Structure 1
């Protein structure tokens, strides 16, 4: 008769105040839960933290990136991808229930989880009502390693269809640095200009890269 081991319930990280020790414990328990025969969950958890920096960034990584750390002989990477999707759904539910911008740290953690380890650029838009509540979070463009096509009129058409009054734009920089390029700034100001005509405000544009974010509003690029 095989031994049946009991583990504490796994709690998916939702960002904010999580220490490295907490991340290690979480990853170790998650590995044990997903692969009960893994010989060294403690060592693998440490390897994930060393490589990705946090449990959240490990969960947001692609299967290929996880394979590099975990090895191809284990079924963990695709199982961790399922855990990632569960975490994203929890993030999305939390963001949808609250004033999006009141929980700024949670919003940035959500965007990191969605886009932080993407190897091509993605451009997504969070459509908000006048109370800063999320109406929709939609991927509006994907592209190459350093460009994603953006169509301002399509964004505004969707905003009007949803009855959105505010927008938070977001895209990732796969190369790592989140600082905006001149093209990023020009595109953002163009969307904001069209939005003013349509009475839709671009509240912020957040760039995700290398575990960090860059806010256009905080940088004074949007007023």
Structure 2
């Protein structure tokens, strides 16, 4: 069964069920999530969940496919969109539920989580093996594969440890506020070695502009405009 990518899919009943399942699997795991709980979260009947997804395993596979597609697509767009607050806002809305899902899936042993990890290692290794943009230093290592795997593990480890990070930072790192704080810290760590100063500066400016619009006075008074796809259909 092929799961349509999020860019082409409106919020149909099937998509609402999948999105609810992402949340339920992230919170309760594969064993703890139930069709009834997913149906209640999606606002549909248990029968409709069973109609679209014959079993919990089939629903889990649909969530895995969606998560994998989302991570791959956003990763391919990230460098081009790093200076665009609109891209950051859209990426936050789509990415955060998937990251929460994958954090649990990495612990539970989901095949999709394994594929995401392998993909990120391959992509990182290919990036370092290519002609790097001006201002970005090549890693000082004799084992680029291990270097790439360690870097991905360090980054993904923040997802798995989100409960602890959220506790010490005082904000949920799977919310826009918490995610921005963590991303800003990550940029501070890597910008001297893995990012050009220009790219890091663009990313920080983008986060400040997004933060001002999303959490500033206009947002608190409800005077912001909703972007495309913000309203559930």
- Indicate whether the TM-score tops 0.5: no
TM-score (norm. length: structure 1): 0.37
Would you tell me which structure has more helix in proportion to its own residues?
2
Would you tell me which structure has more strand in proportion to its own residues?
1
| Larger relative contact order, structure 1 or 2 (CA cutoff 8 Å, min sep 6) | 2
